[in-house]
Amino acid sequence: MQKRLLAILLVLPALIMIVLFFIVPLFASVVGAFEVGGTMGLGNFTKSFELYSSDMIFTLVIVTVSTVLIGLFSVSIGGYLTLGENPRAMAALRWLYRWPMFIPFIVVGQVMRTFLAKNGLMNNILVSLGLLTPLQTVGFLDWRGIVIAFVWKQTPFVTLLVAGAMASLDRSTIEAARNLGASRLRILIEIVLPQIAATLMVGLILSFVTMMSVLSVPLMINAQSPTMLTADIAFRINAHGDYGVANALGLISLLLTAGAALIYLRQSVKERS
Amino acid sequence: MTMQTFLEVEKISVGYGTTTVLADLDLGIGKGEFVALLGSSGCGKTTLLRTIAGFARPSAGSIQVDGRDVTQMAPDRRGMALVFQSYALWPHMTVAQNIGYGLKLQKRSRGDIEAKVAEMQDLLGLSGLGNRKPGQLSGGQRQRVALGRALAIDPEILLLDEPLSNLDARIRLTVRHEIRSLQQRLGITAIHVTHDREEAMVMADRIVIMNAGRIEQQGSPEAVYNKPASPFVAAFMGAENLLSMQARVTGEQIELHEGAFNSSTVTARSGRKLLSGPVELRFRAEAARLVSNNDTAAREPGALELRGQVASVSYPGGHWRHAVRLGTDEILVDSITPFAQGETVKVRIPAQSLFIFNTPEAPAPAH
């Protein structure tokens, strides 16, 4: 009996933390989403959809496009690190690709702002190389800027997982394919990728959820309309003190990420069975 | 078994970084021949196989198949298929997809592929398993899928990298014969890497014994077993009993000097390359005969007789194994009937079972 008491006592701090800092606030904001002027209703949601439905689509498209690109880049980098034949290039790539992981999102936003603007670093270089005239330059500080920032920041993280999984594959499964005449691209797509698909999926879903919750990048790069839901939530609270709509928007983005989380959960259940 | 050389490995040197694994190695293999590369781990046998397959680049030398130089060719252009130690089956593909992948890469028609896959499944006793994934197969079945995948592309040379080492001991015995009879039926040239002496003996036409990156000896199983050319080969082929003696070589005779446990013995030289001086004697436990100390039967001419005491007796099956102590040395001798522990016994080793080599450290000049 005493042992059981001790066990509960040991779990209690963790339990209190979860209830106090996770369950209660979540519950409060879910309830808050349905509160309109002291009564319960769907008012916040109709208002959210009236004002921000284009932002919802904008958010979903940006995050989805970024996720796809991150997947492509991380598989390419991981594939080169696994199947490459130039040891020097592989060592350089292995050393380089991780750096963006250690740079915070706000700094990424800042860097991209100075780099991608109409008279930013990228266009200056292109003009000085004679590839563009100053009149032809275009700024990328719209949805493209956000996608570039997300992909730049998140690719290393997914690559880290993917390259790790590829490195721990049985090398002879790759050699067996080479022995039968498969090209490196075919080996990557038909032999390597299927074997690490679960890891890639986990990396992409975690990235998806992370990107859904980033506020600094859309604020730095694309503060005009349409923008991402995170910026809208911040705006509702800071400019209007409108917690109701902010909570409703929060719940909507939670549902969007829940879709991704569901895929993740089904995947991990399938793996365990 | 004289035949034209089909696969020719000439003066090949292979190394990883600064370490040399193979240096100046020559090997010729005839068409349809089954050759076993035998050696302990780290002897370079797998490196030699991988170099032949095209997965390791030689720093010098050449490899030719049927007169054409394949040294710089990609693995798939050499007409060889490799069966990996871990089988290396693709876990996400079915048995049929695994077997048919090489044909798919050759852009063969779907009908062709299906027919060939079915043929392979019949040949290897995998019928009805085409839709299974490798994870749902037993070890022996996986091994056969790996074999089928390699054979499906009709290679001229089949390379086997310890394909039996992951199987249960009992299955291994049957798979040995399966692979051997398959190879004979198809008439395919095969190179088999193994560290298992018995496996090599049972399967191969010719055994190539490797040690420290060199070929120590090659020949038919009975030749390397009965006429080992070096102490290493003798020990590797089971002659683990080791005695040191002094010998004098005169003409066609070898005289082993009298020692603490043996009287002076003269035996035939039988073509051995031997110099007078310190020698090491090797023989197998089953080649020696154990008799009681008061047995007075004359020993055969040329046989060596030792006198010692039985230190321990065990029964590994079929015969009794005795550890016989000769001073500080201990030798193992088999006998149909057991002798008591502590009993003084005579050990008789027939002339043809004695392997005599000069002690490598100090080859004394002839008297």
pLDDT tens profile B255-279: 888 887 888 888 887 777 888 889 9
Interface test with A, best of B49, B51, B92, B120 (most A CBs within 10 A): B92
Predicted ipTM of the assembly: 0.80
Lowest-pLDDT choice from A38-47, B332-341, B356-365:
B356-365
Q: Do A172 and B88 touch (CB under 8 A)?
A: yes
| Predicted model pTM | 0.81
Residues in chain B closer than 8 A to A195 (CB atoms) = 90-92
Which residue has 């000439």 as its token pair? B10
Q: Do A180 and B53 touch (CB under 8 A)?
A: no
Q: Could you tell me the pLDDT band of residue B361, with boundaries at 50, 70 and 90?
A: low
Name the DSSP letter for residue B328.
T
Nearest chain A residue to B77 by CA: give it.
A181
Does residue A76 sit at the B interface (CB-CB below 8 Å)? Answer: no
- CATH fold group of domain A60-223: MetI-like fold (1.10.3720)
CA B325 to chain CA centroid, nearest Å: 30
Section A117-123 average pLDDT: 87
Give the residues across from B38 on adjacent strands.
B194, B209
Q: Do B84 and A175 touch (CB under 8 A)?
A: yes
For A75-79, which contacts have Cβ atoms below 8 Å and span 24 or more sequence positions? A75/A162, A75/A188, A75/A193, A75/A200, A77/A155, A77/A159, A77/A162, A77/A163, A78/A159, A78/A162, A78/A163, A78/A165, A78/A166, A78/A196, A79/A166, A79/A184, A79/A188, A79/A192
Q: Do B89 and A173 touch (CB under 8 A)?
A: yes
| pLDDT > 80? residue B297 | no
Instruction: For residue A179, give the nearest of B75, B89, B90 by CB distance.
Output: B75
Q: Do B82 and A179 touch (CB under 8 A)?
A: yes
Domain annotation for chain B: domains and CATH numbers: 5-230 (3.40.50.300), 239-358 (2.40.50.140)
Rg over alpha carbons for chain A, rounded to the nearest Å, is 23
Mean pLDDT of chain B: 89
Give CA separation, A114 vs A111, A120, A140, A219, B289, in Å: 5, 5, 11, 14, 92
Does residue A168 sit at the B interface (CB-CB below 8 Å)? Answer: no
Nearest chain A residue to B84 by CA: give it.
A172
Q: Could you tell me the pLDDT band of residue A175, with boundaries at 50, 70 and 90?
A: very high
Section B181-210 average pLDDT: 93
* pLDDT score, position B135: 92
Asked whether the beta carbons of B81 and B159 are under 8 A apart, the reply is yes
| pLDDT > 50? residue B1 | no
CA distance B188 to B184: 7
Asked whether the beta carbons of A143 and A222 are under 8 A apart, the reply is yes
Section A242-271 average pLDDT: 86
Closest-CA distance of chain A to residue B247, Å:
51
Residues 6+ apart with CB under 8 A from B181: none
* pLDDT score, position B195: 92
Per-residue pLDDT tens over the stretch B106-135: 999 999 999 999 999 998 889 999 999 999
